[in-house]
Amino acid sequence: MNYRHAFHAGGFADVIKHIVLVRILLYLHEKPAAFRVLDTHAGAGRYDLTGEEARRGGEWLTGIARIMQARFSEKTLSLLKPYLDVVRAFNPQGALTAYPGSPLIARALLRPQDRLTACEVEPDARKHLIDGLRRDTQARVVDLDGWMALPAFVPPNERRGLVLVDPPFEARDEFERMATGFEAAFAKWPTGSYLLWYPAKSRRAADALAQRVAAIGHTTTGGGKCLRLEFSVGPQTAGAALASAGILIVNPPWTLQGELKAILPELEKPLGQGGAGRFKLEMPRA
């Protein structure tokens, strides 16, 4: 598997992940105390939708491009507007030519007291990310493997915040590394929020990850604090492009589940391929 950010920028999986990211960050705004965002596999930050990598898959055409043109109910539009406004800010001429990755979306939603730590080891991606955040006193780009960074940078001095784990899934043991890394980080910072992204090609691997993450939270905090979201745009077939992706949110905002219940049904039609997409939203069993 290979889900490098540049090849899939603006695709359905990005749209779902970044909507959730924005809703969590806006919830953190509700208290004046500072928070920290740790992005363990940050990528390049900004993606050229006219470039070769984005054109090769064209996933943004059935992802963010459709969402920008879709009609939503008043309630859902109000929930999506902060995310869509960030995307529009990267396309001031109106035409959709660029898409912001998670570190730049997070940076756009930091208040003056908040901070971002973005980890990236791939040289080209790291260079682009540094360029995108150059001279930014609130954001730091770190040349450190995300799996090492995950336990190393928690808890942050702010004691509030979010850890985003979105690896490229190039290695066979990536699911195991995610579970192990989360366990180590959560043991050090059980009150932080965690957003763990995964491709849902293997039902066995996805279910095992969700059960293990839920069990870790249950053992440490008494349970009930892991939310699982999976979104599919069509049937997943062997050798085909990714059609289903998932997110595990540990210590989600109490408002998030209700917000997603309003948003997700209205994303099924515009993001679905060859028919309506579908979603699953649940609290996984430990």
The one catalytic residue in 85, 136, 166, 173 is: 166
CA angle 49, 265, 272 (to 5 degrees): 45
166 included as an active-site residue = yes
Residue positions annotated with a catalytic role: 166
